[in-house]
Amino acid sequence: MGYEEFRERLSAYLTHYNETRIKKSLGWMSPVQYRRSLGLAA
């Protein structure tokens, strides 16, 4: 695995982790959705 492939995989994982995975503790919202619901993210 080269550096570029690593960067692509890391970017895809971070996007999933912050934008698409839902959490029970956040009211079944993703972290980004939760922050937006609190008015903490644009």
Contact 35, 41 (CB under 8 A): yes
Closest of 12, 16, 18, 13 to residue 41, by C-alpha: 18
Question: What pLDDT is attached to residue 1?
Answer: 83
| Residue 42 banded pLDDT, cuts 50, 70, 90 | low
Mean of the pLDDT values across residues 22-39?
94
Task: Give me the sign of the Cα torsion angle 27, 28, 31, 34.
Answer: negative
In a domain, 14, yes or no: yes
Q: Where are the alpha helices (DSSP H) in the chain?
A: 3-15, 31-37
Total number of domains constituting the chain:
1
In a domain, 42, yes or no: no
**Structure token pair of residue 42:** 């644009």
Question: What pLDDT is attached to residue 10?
Answer: 98
In a domain, 23, yes or no: yes
Domain that holds residue 16: 3-37
| Residue 38 banded pLDDT, cuts 50, 70, 90 | very high
Report pLDDT digits (tens) over 6-29: 999 999 999 999 999 999 999 999
